[in-house]
Homo-oligomer: A and B are copies of this chain.
Amino acid sequence: MVKRIPKIPFERLTPSGTSTLSPFNKPIARVKPGEEVEIETWDAFGGCVTETQTRKQTLDKGVKVPVNPVTGPIHIEGAEPSDTLTVEILDIDLPDHGATTISPGFGGLEGWLNFMTPRTKISQIKAGKVFYKTDGGRVVEVPVDPFIGTIGNSPVYEAINTLTPGPHGGNMDCPDIRPGNILHLPVNQPGALFGLGDVHAVQGDGEVGGSAIEVPAVVKLRFGLKKGYTIAWPRVESPDEIMTVCSAKPLEDAARLAYRELVNWMATDHGWQRDDAYMFLSIAAKARIAQIVDPLYTVVAKLPKKYLKK
């Protein structure tokens, strides 16, 4: 039977406890490398945005709306600083609906569209599709493409809020962190102190409005360790591609970091000269704008594995 880690009860969600990745939080579970595990996650609103209740209405009732709570920290046995943690994403189990919001003062086009009213939409999810109802009453079907929005290890000595991405992972909102792929994360603490949440049923590149189809979920993972192998930023492997996931402001710095990490990866593991790798990326790299709405912006740079072969 697969080990299951339940989500933290609503009344125990706290800013410093579940809205940070941090060395100061006590592990809620221990997992062995190689073991399969199912982890329950809250949505980014801690369940407070529903068909009948907006985020604001919850606040108005005096309920503290949790900010992007993660399930964690999870202690990975044997993980030590200078190791790399691999996270194989086996499956994501979606609920039957998800929430999307926009809000003045937040989001990628705030100040560019000058909209004034917060909006909430609940979309049904069924048979691999999201059913988005337009204002005109039409229903648009978008295939689900679920992934984990917030996932990471504890930083070295800071407590970083779960809205912010960085070298430790965090709120990368990167659609490539999905079933079938393997995420690599730097380990900064004994046990890694891993946490995750903020699953999206599907998201557009850039997550431009500030939220996607936000869902609670059950995520099935298998952890691994690359002992003594150190990386500077999160990486992803799909069956066909290697990817680096970097976050910065302005957005071009996120892109530069991601390309540089790709150059480093090609040089360290695949024998490329760094200048040569740089030239080659200029003709063969792919890139994705993951998001431009969090405190740092995230870019994924990618290279097909076939080009790496000796």
Cα of A259 to Cα of B210 in the assembled complex, Å? 13
Q: What are the residues of chain B within 8 A of A109 when measuring CB–CB? A: 256, 259-260, 263, 278
For the complex formed, measure the closest distance between the CB of A164 and the CB atoms of chain B, giving whole angstroms.
9
Cα of A136 to Cα of B260 in the assembled complex, Å? 20
Interface size of A by CB at 8 A reads 84
Per-position 1/0 for A202-215, Cβ under 8 A of B: 11111111111100
Q: What are the residues of chain B within 8 A of A121 when measuring CB–CB? A: 279
Q: What are the residues of chain B within 8 A of A281 when measuring CB–CB? A: 204, 206, 208-209
Q: Is the CB of B16 within 8 A of A285?
A: no
Q: Is the CB of A284 within 8 A of B249?
A: no
Q: Is the CB of B250 within 8 A of A102?
A: no
Q: Is the CB of B158 within 8 A of A113?
A: no
Question: Which residues, 66 to 115 on A, are CB-close (under 8 Å) to B?
Answer: 100, 102, 104, 107-115
Question: Which residues, 272 to 303 on A, are CB-close (under 8 Å) to B?
Answer: 272-276, 278-289, 292, 297, 299, 301
Q: What are the residues of chain B within 8 A of A46 when measuring CB–CB? A: none
Which of A18-26, A54-62, A220-228, A236-244 has 4 or more CB atoms under 8 Å from chain B? A18-26
Give the copy number. Answer: 4
Given contacts A250-B252, A278-B115, contact A259 B157 (CB under 8 A): no
Q: Is the CB of B278 within 8 A of A206?
A: no
A153: CB under 8 A from chain B? no
Q: What are the residues of chain B within 8 A of A297 when measuring CB–CB? A: 252
Given contacts A142-B283, A283-B204, A292-B255, contact A274 B115 (CB under 8 A): yes
Q: What are 11 A-B interface contacts by the 8 Å CB criterion?
A: A20-B158, A104-B114, A111-B114, A113-B275, A114-B114, A132-B280, A136-B276, A157-B161, A209-B279, A211-B282, A212-B283
Which residues of A does B touch, CB under 8 Å? 14-16, 19-20, 22-24, 100, 102, 104, 107-117, 119, 121, 130, 132, 134-136, 138, 140, 142, 156-161, 202-213, 248-252, 255-256, 259-260, 263, 271-276, 278-289, 292, 297, 299, 301, 307, 310
